[in-house]
Amino acid sequence: MGKQLNKVQKRRRRKQYLKRKHEQLKSSASLKKSSGGSSSAAKKTAKKAAKKAAKKAAKKTAKKTAKKAAKKAAKKTAKKVAAKKAAKRAAKRAAPKKEEVPKEEAPKEEASAEEKE
C-alpha cells in the first residue's frame, strides 16, 4: 500500500510542477507579445549599432596589428641591411691593406728589372 501512495503523491507533485511551469511560460509569452512590438525595433537598432561598433573596433585592431607587423618587418630588414653594410665595411677595411701591398711592390719589381738591363 505504501508504494502506491508514494506513486500517487509523485504524480500529483509532477502535475502541479508542470502546471506552474506552463503558466509561467504563458505569462512570459504574453508579456513579450504586449511589449515586443516597440522594443523589438529598439532591440534591432541597438543590435545593429553594437554590430557596427564591433566591426569598427575589429577594423581598428586589425589595422594596428598590421601596422605593428609592418614596423617589425621593416626593423628586421633594416637590421639585416645594417649588418650587411657593416660586414662589407669590415671586409673593405681588411681587404685594401692586403691588396695595396702587391700593387706597391709591382712597380718596384719593374723598376729593379729596368735597372738590371
**Residues 71-89: tens digit of each pLDDT:** 988 988 988 888 888 888 8
Structure-block grid coordinates of residue 17? 510542477
pLDDT for 5 beyond 90: yes
**Residues 51-63: tens digit of each pLDDT:** 998 999 999 999 9
Structure-block grid coordinates of residue 108? 718596384
Residue with cell 586589425: 62
DSSP state of 35: H
